[in-house]
Chain A
Amino acid sequence: MENTALEKSVLNKRKTKSLILRFMVWLCGILTVGILAYILLFILVRGIPNINMEFLFGEYNSDSLSAFSSIVTTVEMIVISLIIAVPVGVFCAIYLHEYAKRGNKAVKVIRLAVDTLAGIPSIVYGLFGMIFFVNILGLRASVLSGVLTISIMILPVIISSSEEAIKSVPDMYREGSLGLGATRLRTVFSIVLPTAMPGILSGVILAIGRIVGETAALIFTSGTNVLENPTLDLMASQRTLAIHMYMLASEGLPYSKDMAFATGAILIIIVFIVNFAATKLAGRIGGLSNGK
Chain B
Amino acid sequence: MENKEKMKIENINLYYGEFQALKNINMNINENEITAFIGPSGCGKSTLLKSLNRMNDLVEGVKIDGKILLDDVDIYKDMDATVLRKRVGMVFQKPNPFPMSIYDNVAYGPRTHGIKQKSRLDEIVEQSLRSAAMWDEVKDRLKKSALGMSGGQQQRLCIARAFSVNPEVILLDEPTSALDPISTMKIEDLLVEIKDNYTIIIVTHNMQQATRVSDKTAFFLHGEVVEFNETEKLFSLPKNKKTEDYITGRFG
Interface residues of A (CB under 8 A from B): 101-102, 170, 172-173, 175-183, 186, 190-191, 194-195, 287-292
Out of B92, B100, B113, B148, which one reaches A179, CB within 8 Å?
Answer: B92
6 smallest beta-carbon distances between A and B, as pairs: A289-B99, A181-B86, A172-B96, A291-B148, A291-B147, A181-B85
Give the distance to chain B from A86, nearest Cβ to Cβ, in Å.
22
Q: Which residue of B lies closest to A179 (CB)?
A: B90
A291 to B100, CA, bound (A): 9
CA distance A282 to B85 in the complex (A): 33
Mostly, the A contact residues are helix
Q: What would 16 more interface pairs be, CB under 8 Å, given A180-B161, A182-B108?
A: A170-B96, A172-B92, A172-B94, A172-B96, A173-B98, A176-B96, A176-B158, A178-B55, A178-B58, A179-B89, A180-B165, A181-B83, A183-B82, A194-B99, A288-B100, A291-B148
Residue from A182, A191, A194 having most chain B Cβ neighbours under 10 A: A182
Residues of A within 8 A of B158 (CB): 176
A175 to B98, alpha carbons, bound, how many Å?
A: 10
CA of A36 to CA of B90 in the docked complex: distance in angstroms?
52
Report chain B residues within 8 Å CB of A289.
99, 145, 147
Answer whether residue B151 sits at the interface, using C-beta atoms and an 8 A cutoff: no
Cross-chain pairs A/B with CB under 8 angstroms, 16 sampled: A172-B92, A176-B97, A176-B98, A178-B85, A180-B85, A180-B89, A180-B109, A180-B164, A181-B82, A181-B83, A181-B86, A182-B108, A186-B112, A195-B99, A288-B145, A290-B147
Contacts of A175 in B (CB 8 A): 55, 58, 90, 92, 96
The residues of A that contact B82 with a CB separation of less than 8 Å are 181-183
Chain B residues numbered 138-155 whose CB sits less than 8 Å from any CB in chain A: 145, 147-148
**Once the chains are docked, how many angstroms separate the CA of A172 from the CA of B178?**
14
Give the distance to chain A from B167, nearest Cβ to Cβ, in Å.
9
Count of B interface residues, CB-CB < 8 Å: 31
B147 touches A173 (CB 8 A): no
Total A-B Cβ pairs within 8 A: 81
Question: How many Å from the CB of A216 to the closest CB on chain B?
Answer: 41
Tell whether, in the assembled complex, residue B109 and residue A290 are in contact, meaning their CB atoms are under 8 Å apart.
Answer: no
Let me know if B53 is at the binding interface, CB within 8 A: yes
Residues of A contacting B113 in the complex (Cβ-Cβ under 8 angstroms): 181
The answer for the CA separation of A173 and B92 in the assembled complex, in Å, is 10
Chain B interface (Cβ < 8 Å from any Cβ of A)? 53, 55, 58, 60, 82-86, 89-90, 92, 94, 96-101, 108-109, 112-113, 145, 147-148, 158, 161-162, 164-165
Bound: A102/B148 CA distance, A:
34
Closest residue of chain A to B149 (Cβ to Cβ) is A291
Supposing A181-B86, A290-B145 touch, asked if A173 and B99 sit within 8 A by C-beta, the answer is: yes
Is A179 within 8 A of B98, CB to CB? no
| B-chain residues with CB within 8 Å of residue A291 when the two chains form the complex | 145, 147-148
A195 vs B100: C-alpha distance when bound (angstroms): 9
| Bound Cα distance A190, B55 (Å) | 19
Is the Cβ of A177 less than 8 Å from the Cβ of B108?
Answer: yes
Q: Nearest Cβ in chain B — how far from A135, in angstroms?
A: 47
Which of A102, A172, A181 is close to B112, meaning CB atoms less than 8 Å apart?
Answer: A181
A186 to B101 Cα, complex, angstroms: 18
Chain B residues, CB < 8 A from A180: 85-86, 89, 108-109, 112, 161-162, 164-165
* A179:B145 contact, CB within 8 angstroms: no
Which residue of chain B lies nearest to A286 when distances are taken between CB atoms in the complex?
A: B99
Q: Bound state CA distance, A195 and B98, in angstroms?
A: 9
Cα A288 to Cα B53 with chains together (Å): 30
- Distance (whole angstroms) from the CB of A187 to the closest CB of chain B: 9
Q: Residue on B with the closest CB to A287?
A: B145
**Residue from A180, A190, A292 with most neighbouring chain B CB atoms (10 Å):** A180
Give the distance to chain A from B52, nearest Cβ to Cβ, in Å. 11
Q: Which residues of A contact B84 (CB under 8 A)?
A: 181
Query: A102 and B60: CB pair below 8 A?
Result: yes
State whether B98 touches A191 (Cβ < 8 A).
Answer: yes
Residues from chain A with Cβ under 8 Å of B85 in the complex: 178-181
- Chain A hits for B145, CB < 8 A: 287-292
CA distance A183 to B114 in the complex (A): 12
Chain B CB within 10 A, most for which of A175, A178, A181, A190: A181
